[in-house]
A = this chain, B = another copy of it.
Amino acid sequence: MSTPIRELSFGQAINEALRLEMRRDPTVIVMGEDIAGAAGREHLGLSDAWGGPMRATRGLIKEFGAARVIDTPIAEMGFTGMAVGAAMTGLRPVVEIMFVDLIGVCYDQIINQAAKMHYMMGGKVELPMVIRTAYGTRGDKRSYGGGAAAQHSQTLYSVLAHIPGLKVVVPSTAYNAKGLTIAAIRDNGPVVVMEHKFLGTSAKGHVPEEAYTVPIGKCEIVRKGKDVTLVGIGRMTHVCLEAATTLAAGGIEAEVVDVLTINPLDEETIIESVKRTHRCVVVDEDTPVCSMARDIAARVGEAAFDFLDAPVKAISSADTPVPFAAVLEANYTPNADKVVAAVKEQIG
């Protein structure tokens, strides 16, 4: 009799991570807009009516109550600031910024306050706080009339990874989403967790029931290969894997590295891989200028210079805002075809 393997979706895995940590530690609280929904209406028999954009916080209020699962007004600067203050005074807040595009209205509290507080104060204060935020384009060529356009589809993590003091993780599967979220909550400094909106079934998979951590600051080699290193971030890891499958059919063995933490970056794992494969393609969903793609390309280009058989190739989304029309959005985001083409160009 085989044990049935428990599979969770990306959102369910994050939900479980939050739930387990909230059980374990009464100082963990979650806050954000409609992370529960129907706030203040328990007396009408209404509650838990929303659960965040990906339902990752659904049900938490039932178990932990409104004191620890806090629906906020639309005031990202204020409540992110509130989380900073709470983290300095004995709580471990997990803040949800509904979409990463909205960091525009609370960027100061993220980059100037949360990220720098420990340093500015000479290391004398800890800041155990997590920011969860959803990002990304659909980019799946479905013949959709349109997506969410320029202000609700961005990736933007480059402008967070840029900031010293801020850890930024980008899970790609239900398994590592749970482990990274738990690691983020247990970290004593600020960590941003970037949650892709359209991972769909590609992220679904076995997730153990108990709490576990996936280490922050470590890449994972998710496919071994000897001819080229494909470096993926978030959903782009799946794009790399798809490309690797195609390449394998043509006899090219691609190694795929899932970055997982974009800051601080585990550059050793990537560089070691490239030293073995002699070629590197970085695939990033963000726009190209000052991107993680070019950041990694530059580090590899410098550290593995003597090992490279071809220039490191950085593949990003188009250097444009995200267009609405599906026909345009489909070309906006990197896909496996582009990765395969880049590798073929390198191997020539």
Q: Is the CB of A301 within 8 A of B297?
A: yes
Cβ–Cβ < 8 Å partners of A297 in chain B? 294, 297-298, 301-302
Query: Which B residues touch A299, using CB under 8 A?
Result: 294
B120 engages A112 (CB within 8 Å): no
A291 to B305, CA, bound (A): 20
**A49: Cβ under 8 A from any B Cβ:** no
Cα-based distance from A313 to B298 in the complex (angstroms): 8
Is A290 touching B112 in the complex (CB atoms < 8 A)? no
Contact B319 A298, beta carbon cutoff 8 Å: no
A329 to B: closest C-beta gap in Å: 13
Q: Establish whether residues A321 and B115, one from each chain, have CB atoms under 8 Å apart when the complex forms.
A: yes
- A77 in the interface (beta carbon within 8 A): yes
Q: Which residues of B contact A319 (CB under 8 A)?
A: 164
Nearest opposing residue in chain B for A318, CB measure: B164
CA distance A286 to B115 in the complex (A): 16
Are A302 and B314 in contact, CB atoms less than 8 angstroms apart? yes
Flag if A298 contacts B321 (CB, 8 Å). Answer: no
CB-CB < 8 A to A318: which residues of B?
164
Asked if residues B320 and A119 are in contact (CB atoms below 8 Å), the reply is yes
CB distance from A285 to the nearest CB of B (A): 13
Chain B positions within 8 Å of A102 at CB level: 108
Instruction: Write the chain B residue with the least CB distance to A105.
Output: B108
Please state if B321 and A313 are interface contacts (CB–CB under 8 Å): no
- B116 close to A112 (CB less than 8 A): no
- Shortest Cβ distance from A124 into chain B, in angstroms? 14
Closest-CB distance, A80 to chain B (whole angstroms): 11
A299 vs B104: C-alpha distance in the bound complex, in angstroms? 28
Contacts of A295-314 to chain B: CB distance below 8 A:
295, 297-299, 301-303, 305, 308, 310-314
Which residue of chain B has the shortest Cβ distance to A103 in the bound complex?
Answer: B107
| Contact between chains at B302 and A312 (CB < 8 Å) | yes
Question: What are the residues of chain B within 8 A of A103 when measuring CB–CB?
Answer: 107
Q: Which residues between 156 and 184 of chain A lie within 8 Å of chain B, taking CB atoms? A: 158-159, 161-165
Cβ of A17 < 8 Å from any Cβ of B? no
Chain B contacts of A77 at CB under 8 A? 105
Bound Cα distance from A130 to B107, whole angstroms:
21
B107 close to A104 (CB less than 8 A): yes
With A112-B104, A295-B289, A295-B294 as known contacts, state yes or no: A162 contacts B151, CB within 8 Å: no
Q: Chain B: which residue is nearest A101 at the CB level? A: B112
A150 lies within 8 A of chain B by Cβ: yes
What's the nearest-Cβ distance from chain B to residue A345, in Å?
A: 11
A291-B295 CB under 8 A given contacts A104-B107, A321-B165:
yes
Taken together as a complex, chains A and B put the C-alpha atoms of A314 and B301 apart, in Å, by 11
Q: Are A301 and B291 in contact (CB under 8 A)?
A: no
Closest chain B residue to A287 by CB distance? B164
**A112-B151, A151-B116, A289-B265 known; A305 vs B298 contact (CB < 8 Å):** no
Report which residue of A149, A162, A286, A319 has the largest number of chain B beta carbons within 10 angstroms of its beta carbon. A162
9 closest residue pairs by CB, A with B: A104-B108, A301-B301, A294-B298, A305-B311, A297-B298, A107-B107, A159-B159, A158-B290, A162-B290
Additional A-B contacts beyond A158-B159, A290-B292, A294-B299 (4; CB < 8 A) = A102-B108, A107-B108, A164-B287, A305-B311
